Chains A and B, each alone.
Chain A
Amino acid sequence: MAACVRRLNNVLCSVRLLRYQHHQNERFLSTSLPRLALGSDDTDQPSKFTPPPKPVIIDKTQTAASLRKFLSPEFIPIRQRINPLKAAIERKDMYRRRKVLNIPEFYVGSILAVTMTDQYASGKSNRFVGICLQRGGKGLGATFILRNIIENQGVEICYEMYSPLIQKIEVLKLEKRLDENLMYLRDALPEYSTVDPDMKPVSSSPTGDVPINMMKVRMRPKPWSKRWERPIFNIKGIRFELCLTPEQMEHAQKWAEPWREYDMLKEYDTSRLEENILKEVKQEMSK
């Protein structure tokens, strides 16, 4: 088991493997537990019958084509003058790191747990669980911010995905939200940013669409850190009707630039680039 856990070629394959391993261990546990319990509590009421967990049927008939296509956003270069040689060399280093550390597919709004080395902690590592607020940076400097509220204090940690300090990244809950950037959770009520640190991973299928959480968040009273009602942010995940009057909403629309969607200079079509890079990624990761 350790051998195949070490050689993680395909990200998607690895998710399947992890799930299979988790359920295998559960199966061993559930059959041995009642036997152990019988010996100890004989005088108390008989231990409840825990049925064995349903076996996970991994459908091997599903081809690789039906699996979800996901290209991590840090591979796609920005439109500015990026030397393609530099980008290609960075990508090579990214593949090398990904072969050692499994960086799973996740989106903004999913709940992650990151284990990082920490020389001053007993056990030499610390684990942080939180919601992913944004994914920034391109290439090796790609980062993601996790937010959680611990003992009534909001904590945000910005992790670099390719940092050698990171030991493990697990996706506890894979889902998308209505926006690409959830920085408004800083001004939302704290219940929307709290994540249970001992949360168990929620299983998700490697095929089909990622579930979109249509939750609309309630905000604290103004002032906020940014004027989230303005159309430049294009936020769909806030319940504006509870915190702003219609006059305020109209006033915010003054900053709308309706010509922006027709401005051909601002368009950046990445579909061709994405296809090429996705092919390259699949090739490299399967080596």
Chain B
Amino acid sequence: MRLTLQMLISHGRVARKMGLGPESRINMLRNMLTGLVRHERIETTQGRADEVRFYAEKLIDYAKKGDTDEKAMKMASFWLTEKDLVPKLFKVLAPRFETQKKGYTRMARIPNRENLDRAKMSVLEYRGNPFPPLYPVRKNIELSLINQLLKGYKEERAQKTTVKI
């Protein structure tokens, strides 16, 4: 066995080790990617979600090339194990992200897993999915008492400064 420094130090290695080996890692990523394309929002451990995120965005880039492109079709049929999702990818997800260049996914952390391992969990979703948003949108109600009082105060301050000048 070659006990080189190259083996011990992981300088520049971008791919995480997952599962039993490189083949197992690709198979796990394939399963997760298929689940993501089917449900558009999945929750996994943080490391796995980070890995899948890269592949999810690259898959959308390939899907944007269109289903007539041979390479794109081969990639899609390899990565999606359930073959009924291939038309969904090309007909639904690719047109959705036509205008965007990158940033098709969103990742958010959620509380740790309940098991003994207390693993860091995160949620990965494609933007524009039909579920309620991950981060709740705070709406400012203009007509509430406090907002009206604040509005009046701001206007008075503005008037005072214009009078001074």
Contacts and interface: CB of A to CB of B under 8 A. Distances in A.
Q: Do A and B come from one complex?
A: yes
Contacts of B12: 80-81
Given A80-B12, A81-B12, A264 B55 contact: yes
A257 B14 CA distance: 19
A84 to B, nearest CB: 17
Contact of A259 (B14, B15, B23, B74): B23
A264 B58 contact: yes
B108 interface: no
B26 interface: yes
Contacts of A264: 54-55, 58-59, 62, 75
B75 A257 contact: no
Contacts of A263: 26
Contact of B23 (A80, A81, A257, A265): A257
Interface in A221-262: 257, 259, 262
A141 B77 CA distance: 42
Contact of B54 (A257, A262, A265): A265
Given A257-B22, A257-B23, A262 B14 contact: no
Contacts of B23: 257, 259
Interface string A263-286: 111000000000000000000000
B78 interface: yes
A254 B78 CA distance: 20
Given A257-B22, A257-B23, A262 B15 contact: no
B74 A262 contact: yes
Interface string B77-108: 01100000000000000000000000000000
A263 B59 CA distance: 11
Nearest to A79: B12
A264 B58 CA distance: 7
Given A80-B12, A81-B12, A262 B75 contact: yes
Interface in B110-142: none
A262 B78 contact: yes
Contacts of B79: 262
Contacts of B54: 264-265
Nearest to B27: A259
B55 A259 contact: no
B26 A259 contact: yes
Interface in B1-20: 12, 14-15
Interface of A: 80-81, 257, 259, 262-265
14 contacts: A80-B12, A259-B22, A259-B26, A262-B75, A262-B78, A262-B79, A264-B55, A264-B59, A264-B62, A264-B75, A265-B14, A265-B15, A265-B54, A265-B55
By Cβ-Cβ distance, the 7 closest A-B pairs, closest first, are: A264-B58, A262-B78, A259-B26, A80-B12, A265-B15, A264-B55, A262-B75
